[in-house]
């Protein structure tokens, strides 16, 4: 695995939580580019919101990064849909080219402007992607391909701008690219020889609980509610 030490930030994006596609649903998945310097605090970019704080946002999901590298593959598969014409299709806060899930590792620390970010977990896609793309299986496609993006926690608050450089400062777990973790998760792994090594990592509580449950029960969790969402009339 080879990763560049630094990549150019093509866009920083934020969005407001508004009524979404299904009754009672709220979402801020439609992000727009930030103009000028933006403050990145413990809970993410200033002005950015989350529609459902139970499952989105928070310290361990403060900033969402989605590689623009994946957009060409999506356009090939889905056609030249308008939502894929510019960054923000997946609700990301950071858009770059040059980093993917295969070249970043859990716990990687990146400098962005005066902020210091740490990769905390990969994204678990939900049904809101289905409605955003008008495809009933879009979240499942994102999960199956592994083109999910990832989240950062903010170790040091600071300011950044589109055009800044995202620079790798530290890689404490070089043997754990995000693809390895997501293959365990989405590949429905139950083999203790594969799962147990992950428990030494600084996993977010939900991921640790998931792996521990698989080891204890020998079963894989049901993802239907997350992927399909509430039933539509």
> pLDDT grade, residue 53 (50/70/90)?
confident
> pLDDT grade, residue 231 (50/70/90)?
low
Instruction: Say if residue 18's pLDDT is above 80.
Output: yes
The residue length of the chain stands at: 233
pLDDT above 70: percentage of residues in the chain: 97
State the average pLDDT over residues 40-45. 97
What is the pTM for the complete model shown?
A: 0.94
Instruction: Say if residue 4's pLDDT is above 90.
Output: no
> pLDDT grade, residue 21 (50/70/90)?
confident
Radius of gyration of the chain (CA): 17
Computed over every residue of the chain, the mean pLDDT equals: 93
State the average pLDDT over residues 168-187. 95
Alpha-carbon distance 76 to 218, whole Å? 38
Give yes or no for a contact between 182 and 148, defined as CB atoms under 8 angstroms apart.
yes
Which tens digit of pLDDT belongs to each residue from 103-138? 999 999 999 999 999 999 999 999 999 999 999 999
Q: How far is CA 42 from CA 89, 134, 160, in A?
A: 24, 33, 14
State the average pLDDT over residues 39-66. 90
* pLDDT score of 80: 87
* pLDDT score of 57: 81
pLDDT above 90: percentage of residues in the chain: 85
> pLDDT grade, residue 51 (50/70/90)?
confident
Among 84-88, 140-144, 223-227, the range scoring the smallest mean pLDDT is: 223-227
* pLDDT score of 213: 94
* Residue scoring higher pLDDT (151 or 81): 151
CB atoms within 10 A of CB 186: 20
Q: How far is CA 124 from CA 53, 156, 162, 204, 233, in A?
A: 15, 25, 26, 13, 25
Tokens standing for residue 131: 């409605």
* pLDDT score of 2: 58
Q: Return all residues near 150 (Cβ < 8 A) that are at least 6 apart.
A: 64, 65, 101, 104, 119, 120, 121, 122, 123, 178
Instruction: Say if residue 232's pLDDT is above 70.
Output: no
State the average pLDDT over residues 157-181. 97
């Amino acid at each position: 695995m080879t990763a560049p030490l630094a990549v150019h930030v093509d866009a920083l994006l934020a969005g407001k939580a508004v009524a979404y596609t299904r009754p009672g649903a709220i979402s801020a998945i439609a992000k727009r580019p930030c103009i000028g310097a933006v403050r990145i605090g413990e809970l993410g970019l200033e002005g950015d919101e989350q529609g459902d704080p139970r499952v989105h946002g928070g310290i361990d999901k403060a900033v969402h990064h989605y590689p623009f590298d994946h957009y060409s593959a999506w356009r090939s598969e889905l056609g030249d849909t308008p939502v894929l014409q510019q960054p923000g299709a997946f609700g990301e806060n950071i858009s770059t080219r040059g980093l993917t899930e295969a070249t970043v590792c859990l716990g990687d620390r990146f400098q962005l402007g005066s902020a210091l970010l740490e990769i905390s977990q990969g994204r678990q896609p939900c049904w809101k992607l289905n409605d955003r793309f008008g495809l009933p299986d879009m979240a499942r496609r994102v999960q199956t391909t592994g083109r999910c993006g990832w989240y950062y926690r903010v170790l040091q608050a600071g300011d950044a701008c589109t055009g800044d450089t995202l620079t790798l400062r530290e890689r404490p777990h070089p043997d754990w690219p995000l693809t390895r973790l997501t293959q365990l998760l989405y590949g429905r792994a139950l083999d203790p020889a594969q799962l147990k090594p992950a428990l030494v990592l600084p996993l977010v509580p939900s991921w640790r609980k998931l792996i521990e449950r698989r080891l204890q029960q020998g079963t894989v969790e049901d993802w239907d509610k997350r992927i399909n969402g509430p039933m539509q009339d």
